[in-house]
């Protein structure tokens, strides 16, 4: 089983990066393979809201409004057997780069309804918050809603903050293992 792990913090040694490493360790321990993609290395702009609000995403199920790294990443997401989306919590929400990516994936796939090409695939959703952890739950709620729209199956939804780091990293590793074990 191949899992595309996408993380969206600019910090290469921060909490989000540690979460991605933990998920990958679990996936590989269970015999799966993982790609580790850092959204801050790519250009994925916000949706252009083409036409009257819909563009090629509605009928062609691809983004024709903004040509950047989204198109290739979309294809990689479709080719993977599952996803892990790992975002820092910004303003109680997904980080802006993860929001851009998930918004555009949603337009292309949710417009297919039950035939979403991500439909039925598992996704591990992780929200990495700061010291207080306020807004972690609203971030996870928004990630869950996204998964519902594209019809992915949340393998787990995990919130982590600085003081829960050690036991939640262990949980993320275990969730990566379970994702592979339950879907292979
Ligand atoms: C613009 C911005 C907004 C943030 N908003 C929140 C927030 O709403 N709640 C929270 O707990 N932490 C918030 N934080 C803190 C980050 O979620 C926290 O530092 C996170 O662990 C970052 O992960 P990193 O170490 O991988 O960069 C915010 C940080 C930034 C830069």
Tell me how far the alpha carbon of residue 144 lies from the centroid of ligand 1, in angstroms.
19
Percentage of the chain with pLDDT > 90? Answer: 98
Containing 174, the helix (H) or strand (E) segment is helix 165-183
**Residue of the nearest CA to atom 22 in ligand 1?**
88
pLDDT above 90 for 6: yes
Residues 16, 62: Cα–Cα separation, whole Å: 29
pTM of the model: 0.98
43-67 average pLDDT score: 97
Over residues 121-132, the pLDDT tens digits come to: 999 999 999 988
- Please report the domains of the chain, with CATH numbers, ordered by start residue: 2-183 (3.40.50.360)
Over residues 56-113, the pLDDT tens digits come to: 999 999 999 999 999 999 999 999 999 999 999 999 999 999 999 999 999 999 999 9
The two three-digit tokens of residue 102, written as one number? 């998930």
Residue 118: pLDDT band with limits 50, 70, 90: very high
**Residue of the nearest CA to atom 31 in ligand 1?**
90
Tell me how far the alpha carbon of residue 93 lies from the centroid of ligand 1, in angstroms.
10
Give bridge partners of residue 124 from the DSSP assignment. 84, 156
Over residues 130-141, the pLDDT tens digits come to: 988 999 999 999
Q: What is the largest CA-CA distance in the chain?
A: 48
**Residue of the nearest CA to atom 30 in ligand 1?**
90
- For ligand 1, which residues put their CB under 6 angstroms from it? 9, 11, 14-17, 88-92, 128-130, 132-135
């Amino acid at each position: 089983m191949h899992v595309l792990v996408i993380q969206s913090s600019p910090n290469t040694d921060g909490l989000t990066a540690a979460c991605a490493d933990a998920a990958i360790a679990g996936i590989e321990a269970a015999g799966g393979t993982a790609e580790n993609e850092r959204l801050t290395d790519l250009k994925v702009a916000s949706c252009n809201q083409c036409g009257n609000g819909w563009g090629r995403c509605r009928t062609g199920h691809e983004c024709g409004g903004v040509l950047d790294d989204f198109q290739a990443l979309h294809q990689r997401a479709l080719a993977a057997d599952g996803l892990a989306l790992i975002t820092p919590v910004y303003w109680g929400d997904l980080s802006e780069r993860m929001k851009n990516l998930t918004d555009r994936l949603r337009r292309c796939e949710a417009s297919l309804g039950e035939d979403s090409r991500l439909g039925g695939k598992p996704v591990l959703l992780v929200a990495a918050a700061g010291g207080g952890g306020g807004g972690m739950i609203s971030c996870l709620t928004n990630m869950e809603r996204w998964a519902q729209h594209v019809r992915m199956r949340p393998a787990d939804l995990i919130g982590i903050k600085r003081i829960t780091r050690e036991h939640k990293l262990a949980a993320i590793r275990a969730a990566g293992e379970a994702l592979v074990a339950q879907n292979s």
